[in-house]
Chain A
Amino acid sequence: MKQWWLRPAVRIGAALLLPVVVPATITIMLWALPGDPVSIICPEELCTGGGALAAKWNLDQGPLHFYVQWLRAAAGGDFGATWRWQAGTPIAGLMAESTPTTLALLGFALISVAIGTVVGASQRLPAKVLAVAQVAGLVPGIVLALVGAAWVELTYGAASFVGPAVWARLLTGAAVIGLADGALSGAIGGTDGLFRAESRQRYVGIAILRGERVLGNTLPNVTPALAGQLRARTLHLLSGAVVVEAVVGIDGLGDLLLRGALYQDFGLVLASATAFALFSSVLLLGQALVEVATAVLVRRSPAGVMEGA
């Protein structure tokens, strides 16, 4: 591509917009639903004082006012309070507890993806082993999560949420999302395919004739695609974490989002979906940075391509 900066620029733009667009979309949808948003917090048949609540939560002056006020408060770290699930609990506190847990879960699960990526890049995995990994990857996350939850419950007890049980839940959850729904097999297969396709390029053949290593030549050129795959796999893990956290009993951000959706708690969903949007933005920025670095350090320097890495 001649305009190498276009893709990273689009990604950076998307990364900047995402945390703003996601709450805007949810706000629009909240007002698009039949009935008044106030009636969601305070159904007329169940409670009185809806007007006061509407004023308190900025729901009385239309979607734009609500959105601007929410965004301003969120920028200052105040995500409001839950509407229906544990009504009135400050969401910032819930998120402060759950975000590190989800990050730790994601970090442990990424070990599986990292191993898969290294194995795939080595291209030394026999096709039969890859086929077995692909079949194992068909096992849905919910099934593995149930097995993991049963193991934790039998080992530590159903109500064990302190000490080693917390770590057991976290590591079990990480193992589940790192293996289920094709996470590991996808990492192996995807990376293997990427390197295999690049190795067939003519310049690699020439490099081999010159006595150079294949990986040293292919790696700089596949790095942007590898970063793209890694972002997609991280999103896949985050997606899986939502269900796994709830089943295995991990107090993470996905669990918060799920509870918000189950209890129709728009306040909670708004905050947790925005947090996920922020995660996604960071990933987009990371991919854009890799693309920029590759373009500047490698593609503009023929020496970098032929002798780099």
Chain B
Amino acid sequence: MKPRLPAALLAGLCLVLLLVAALVAPEHLPDKAPDLKWAGPADVPPFGADDGGRSLLHYATQGARVVAVPSIVAGMVVAAFATLGGVLRAMGVGWFDRVLQAGGEVVGALPRMVVILVVALVTPDEWRGLLPLAVTWALLSAPGAMDEAAAVAERLGGARFVEALRAHGYSASRVYLYHIVALNLRPVVVRQAAEVMMQVVFLEIGLSYIAEEENQTDFTHPANLKSWANLLKLGYASLVVDVPSGHALGLGLGLIGVVAVMGLALGRAVRSR
């Protein structure tokens, strides 16, 4: 077995879990069952129940539904920008460095969360959701990713590398798509995408938690869906008051762990040899 295969399998498994959970998520939580209030995993398998006796499995799947598509889209946006950054450097486009530096300065001048909150505020109600925020986060991350990918292309030799391969008779598409993107930019591009996916999930949890705490309309999902932040909120009570909701906290942290493992494993799976 190749050393990178287990990491690839682990990342794939986590991603499939996330997508399947998102697909099977119900539109609404079921009716309350007061008899099962705070029931443990043994009574309401597999994760136990909330204060209304409803299975925490629904929280897990609905939370996956909230984050799955936006985080993947954000990852793809960053991957596309990083690839573009690497390819333009390999093509030896002269103005690219200046544009990249200026873009990085403008985009990176403000704290990201400030930009995200302003975007959340000015997003019309009908567009509200995690997707616009995720795309904004991806755009804010893009200059850094492009810069790193461009540095990789620079280390390869930039335009001279392309020229050398072309002199060996390779077609332009093979040089750019296979030698540059697939063989050399891949580790950076995929790692950056995985990091942004992870950050978008954590961003959603942070914003949802605070909205829940303030009893305000959530920026990231409609009211009929529960976020993984709701699990943390339920479980937090077990830390500070005598509420038996530790299983909710465990599940929330476990789901965060799955996302972190997915990000790490994805980065490891595509490491260069």
CA distance A29 to B214 in the complex (A): 25
| Docked-complex contact A14 and B106, CB < 8 angstroms | yes
A259 nearest CB neighbor, chain B only: B214
A261 at the interface (CB under 8 A from B): yes
| Docked-complex contact B114 and A262, CB < 8 angstroms | no
Q: Which of A140, A142, A235 contacts B108 (CB 8 A)?
A: A235
> Which of B49-57, B58-66, B118-126, B169-177 lies at the interface with chain A?
B118-126
CB distance from B91 to the nearest CB of A (A): 22
Most buried by A among B122, B217, B229, B264: B122
| Docked-complex contact B118 and A262, CB < 8 angstroms | no
Given contact pairs A146-B236, A246-B213, A284-B109, A264 touches B114 in the complex (Cβ within 8 A): no
B43 at the interface (CB under 8 A from A): no
CA distance A142 to B230 in the complex (A): 13
> Which of B7-15, B16-24, B80-88, B204-212 lies at the interface with chain A?
B204-212
Contacts of A263 in B (CB 8 A): 216
A225 at the interface (CB under 8 A from B): no
| Docked-complex contact B110 and A143, CB < 8 angstroms | no
Contacts of B213 in A (CB 8 A): 246-247
B111 at the interface (CB under 8 A from A): yes
CA distance A14 to B253 in the complex (A): 41
CA distance A259 to B213 in the complex (A): 11
CA distance A258 to B114 in the complex (A): 9
CB distance from B218 to the nearest CB of A (A): 9
| Docked-complex contact B118 and A261, CB < 8 angstroms | yes
| Docked-complex contact A242 and B114, CB < 8 angstroms | yes
> For window 177-218 of chain B, which residues contact chain A by CB distance below 8 Å?
198, 202, 205-207, 209-211, 213-214, 216-217
| Docked-complex contact A142 and B110, CB < 8 angstroms | no
| Docked-complex contact A33 and B110, CB < 8 angstroms | no
Binary contact readout B75-114 vs A (1 if CB under 8 angstroms, 0 otherwise): 0000000000000000000000000011001101111111
Given contact pairs A11-B105, A14-B105, A254-B113, A158 touches B210 in the complex (Cβ within 8 A): no
Contacts of A279 in B (CB 8 A): 111
Contacts of A235 in B (CB 8 A): 108, 110-112
Given contact pairs A141-B202, A263-B216, A257 touches B114 in the complex (Cβ within 8 A): yes
CB distance from B173 to the nearest CB of A (A): 33
CB distance from A252 to the nearest CB of B (A): 13
| Docked-complex contact A238 and B109, CB < 8 angstroms | no
Binary contact readout A133-171 vs B (1 if CB under 8 angstroms, 0 otherwise): 001001111110010011001100010000000000000
| Docked-complex contact B121 and A266, CB < 8 angstroms | yes
CA distance A269 to B119 in the complex (A): 11
A238 nearest CB neighbor, chain B only: B111
A105 at the interface (CB under 8 A from B): no
CB distance from A8 to the nearest CB of B (A): 11
| Docked-complex contact B113 and A143, CB < 8 angstroms | no
CB distance from A296 to the nearest CB of B (A): 21
B156 at the interface (CB under 8 A from A): no
Q: Which of A138, A141, A247, A266 contacts B264 (CB 8 A)?
A: A138
CB distance from B229 to the nearest CB of A (A): 8
Tell me the count of chain A residues lying within 8 A, CB to CB, of chain B. 54
CB distance from B120 to the nearest CB of A (A): 6
CB distance from B243 to the nearest CB of A (A): 12
B211 nearest CB neighbor, chain A only: A262
Contacts of A242 in B (CB 8 A): 111, 113-114, 117
Contacts of A232 in B (CB 8 A): 108
CA distance A239 to B114 in the complex (A): 7
CA distance A276 to B122 in the complex (A): 18
A112 at the interface (CB under 8 A from B): no
A10 at the interface (CB under 8 A from B): yes
CA distance A276 to B114 in the complex (A): 8
CB distance from B119 to the nearest CB of A (A): 9
Which 8 residue pairs across A and B have the least CB separation, nearest first? A239-B111, A29-B122, A140-B202, A150-B239, A238-B111, A239-B113, A261-B117, A242-B113
* Chain B interfacial positions (CB closer than 8 Å to A): 101-102, 105-106, 108-114, 117-118, 120-122, 124, 198, 202, 205-207, 209-211, 213-214, 216-217, 219, 229, 232, 236, 239-240, 253, 256, 260, 263-264
* Chain A interfacial positions (CB closer than 8 Å to B): 7, 10-11, 14, 18, 22, 25-26, 29-30, 32-34, 135, 138-143, 146, 149-150, 153-154, 158, 181, 232, 235-236, 238-240, 242-243, 246-247, 254, 257-264, 266, 269, 273, 276-277, 279-280, 284
A-B pairs with beta carbons under 8 Å apart, 15 shown? A18-B109, A26-B118, A138-B198, A142-B205, A143-B232, A150-B240, A235-B110, A236-B111, A238-B111, A239-B111, A239-B113, A257-B114, A260-B117, A261-B117, A276-B114
Known: A261-B120, A279-B111, A284-B109. 16 other contacts (CB 8 A): A26-B118, A29-B122, A138-B264, A140-B260, A143-B256, A150-B239, A154-B240, A232-B108, A236-B112, A240-B113, A247-B206, A257-B117, A260-B117, A262-B216, A262-B217, A280-B109
